[in-house]
């Protein structure tokens, strides 16, 4: 069975600083996708960044980047130049190529302070 673990229930960071959220996963499959989603108080899950496992290059979307370590089964999210609007729950998720279900971690609550 596949699992996703987010070991940091809560994190905080000062505005303009950098923060890294951890995610590890477990699967015996070699082909899969990884995602980070942001969930603000509005409850809508917003896609932050995604990575295909066969791609060695780390994905980057503006201030958001990942450190994908396939051998270690680690997929951390780095947020640079943190903004107040980044305050939200962040979920890491895994999807295998041959299934259509997202498997989520329990989330990390990020608070950005002015």
Partner 1 sequence: GAGVSQSPSNKVTEKGKDVELRCDPISGHTALYWYRQSLGQGLEFLIYFQGNSAPDKSGLPSDRFSAERTGGSVSTLTIQRTQQEDSAVYLCASRSGTDYGYTFGSGTRLTVV
Residues that bind partner 1 (CB under 8 A): 4, 33, 35, 37, 42-47, 50, 52, 91, 93, 95, 100-107
Report helix, strand or coil for 52. Answer: strand
**Cβ at position 37, least distance to partner 1 in Å:** 8
**Cβ at position 33, least distance to partner 1 in Å:** 6
Nearer to partner 1, 16 or 54 (CB): 54
Nearer to partner 1, 69 or 99 (CB): 99
Q: C-alpha angle 77/4/10, rounded to 5°?
A: 55
Q: What is the distance between the alpha carbons of residues 78 and 95, in angstroms, rounded to a whole number?
A: 21
């Amino acid at each position: 069975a596949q699992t996703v673990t987010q070991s940091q229930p809560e994190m905080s960071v000062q505005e303009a600083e950098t923060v890294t959220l951890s995610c590890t996963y477990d699967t015996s499959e070699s082909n899969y996708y990884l995602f980070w989603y942001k969930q603000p108080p509005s409850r809508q899950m917003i896609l932050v960044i995604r990575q295909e496992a066969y791609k060695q290059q780390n994905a980057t979307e503006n201030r958001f980047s990942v450190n994908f370590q396939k051998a270690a089964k680690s997929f951390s999210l780095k947020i640079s130049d943190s903004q107040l609007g980044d305050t939200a729950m962040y979920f890491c998720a895994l999807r295998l190529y041959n299934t259509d279900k997202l498997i989520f971690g329990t989330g990390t609550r990020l608070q950005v302070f002015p």
